[in-house]
């Protein structure tokens, strides 16, 4: 079966076409800067890459361009669109309704739209991608893979905020967590590397990039995670503040900041950018710190210190930690960040092999010493193949691997 995987955002659409179950990539690409004058298509096929400027006003038009490209005479990889057996979509927020990937129907579409209140920057373009495929491939099954689904096993004691309970009942205000597809993928892969079953591992998975989150995985299930109602909570990120005293916002409101200004402050102007005053890109910050920039050094220290605090808390929650996993742009590529973080949490029995760490840049590797009580892995995340597997499994009616308790309906790869 050919499975098309779509990740539609507000300014870009990324796609991969797989031959399943072999997980072979037939074609991949993206349309970026949607709605701007310099929109661009990048399309990889048959060991070639084609790029061209395009004019696309919205996600729907970008999806139409992707589908046309896949069947075009000069650079297409399909004879006709009907060769696509199923389409899988990354959807950011599934609320409490979706504990796993599901085949999309009208009820699912209505729910994704409903949860746009909780993810206003993500769910609407995710839905636009689904509707565009529905228009052009009305008979093709589509699957929604939710970033929140892996965290459906978090217990109530971990997901409730100490706010009036009626806010949870009325508005669904609770911890949901994100990056779930990534955390699930690397936790499963770590179990494989250790020769264990996927439900026979306790791990702390660290998705570190421009957006960063940590997850405590107990017996293969997420039991706590650093992001909350939105992706703003948790450790500092590229431009997001992470955890802060909410009274800071009330204080700044009195100084003249309105709601939009406060939202921009926390989501777009804080984190590594705000602390360093240089960049939201850790590579630039590491470079500046290496040249002696004190604010860059501070940004790095704050980032690693907050991660240390979360890892310490999660080691207590898990009781026993079998593995720590680094993934994401920073987690996969920054030798310095992994070294500083591992040195900071040596008390959990983790010993870093420094040479192995230096050699592990953008590739899968075990980077602990032989006598380390805790395995340490670098595992490049592959959310696309996880979505492809979910989509293939559900549409082939192979969704037999379900988690406990029985009322949760997650399809796990």
- From CA 3, how far away is CA 18, in angstroms rounded? 5
Helices then strands, each counted (H, E), the chain = 15, 14
Q: Is 147 a catalytic residue?
A: yes
Question: Among residues 38, 74, 128, 147, which one is catalytic?
Answer: 147
Helix (H, G, I), strand (E, B) or coil at 164: coil
CA 321, 184, 23: angle at the middle one, nearest 5? 130
- From CA 104, how far away is CA 133, in angstroms rounded? 11
Both tokens assigned to 279? 């960049």
CA 256, 259, 264: angle at the middle one, nearest 5? 100
Nearest to 95 by CA among 180, 158, 174: 174
Instruction: Provide the b/e sequence for 191-216 (b: ≥16 CB within 10 Å).
Output: bebbeeebbebbbbbbbbbbbbbbbb
CA 47, 381, 223: angle at the middle one, nearest 5? 160
Residue 390 phi, psi dihedral angles, 5° rounding: -60, -45
- From CA 330, how far away is CA 338, in angstroms rounded? 9
Nearest to 296 by CA among 309, 308, 284, 305: 284
Cis peptide before 392 (omega within 30 of 0): no
Strands 375-378 and 365-366, by their bridges, are: antiparallel
DSSP class of 403: P
- From CA 67, how far away is CA 133, in angstroms rounded? 9
| Strand partners for 214 | 206
**Catalytic residue positions?**
147
């Amino acid at each position: 079966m050919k499975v098309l995987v779509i990740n539609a955002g507000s300014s870009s659409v990324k796609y991969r076409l797989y031959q399943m179950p072999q997980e072979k990539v037939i074609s991949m690409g993206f349309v970026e800067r949607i709605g701007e004058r310099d929109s661009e298509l990048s399309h990889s096929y048959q060991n070639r890459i084609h790029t061209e400027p395009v004019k696309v006003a919205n996600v729907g038009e970008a999806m139409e361009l992707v589908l046309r490209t896949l069947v075009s005479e000069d650079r297409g990889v399909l004879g006709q669109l009907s060769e696509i057996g199923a389409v899988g979509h990354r959807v950011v927020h599934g609320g409490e309704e979706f504990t796993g990937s599901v085949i999309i129907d009208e009820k699912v579409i209505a729910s994704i739209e409903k949860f746009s209140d909780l993810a206003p920057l993500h769910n609407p373009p995710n839905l636009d991608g689904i509707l565009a495929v529905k228009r052009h491939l009305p008979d093709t099954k589509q699957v929604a893979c939710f970033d929140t689904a892996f965290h459906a096993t978090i217990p109530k004691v971990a997901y409730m905020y100490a706010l009036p309970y009626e806010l949870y009942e009325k508005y669904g205000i609770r911890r949901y967590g994100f990056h779930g597809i990534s955390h699930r993928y690397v936790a499963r892969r770590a179990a494989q590397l250790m020769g264990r079953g996927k439900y026979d591992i306790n791990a702390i998975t660290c998705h570190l990039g421009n957006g960063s989150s940590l997850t405590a995985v107990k017996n293969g299930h997420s039991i706590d995670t650093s992001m909350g109602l939105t992706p703003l909570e948790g450790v500092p990120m590229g431009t997001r503040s992470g955890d802060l005293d909410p009274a800071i916002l009330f204080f700044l409101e009195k100084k003249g900041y309105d709601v939009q200004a406060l939202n921009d402050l926390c989501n777009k102007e804080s984190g590594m950018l705000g602390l360093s005053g240089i960049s939201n890109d850790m590579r630039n910050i590491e470079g500046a710190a290496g040249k002696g920039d004190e604010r860059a050094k501070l940004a790095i220290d704050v980032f690693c210190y907050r991660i240390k605090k979360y890892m310490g808390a999660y080691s207590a929650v898990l009781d026993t930690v079998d593995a720590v996993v680094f993934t994401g742009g920073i987690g996969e590529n920054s030798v310095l960040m992994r070294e500083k973080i591992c040195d900071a949490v040596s008390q959990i029995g983790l010993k870093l092999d420094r040479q192995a760490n230096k050699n592990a840049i953008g590739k899968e590797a075990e980077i602990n010493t032989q006598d380390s009580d805790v395995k340490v892995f670098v595992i490049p995340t592959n959310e696309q193949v996880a979505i492809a597997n979910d989509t293939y499994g559900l549409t082939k009616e192979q969704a037999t691997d379900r988690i406990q308790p029985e009322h949760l309906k997650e399809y796990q790869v």
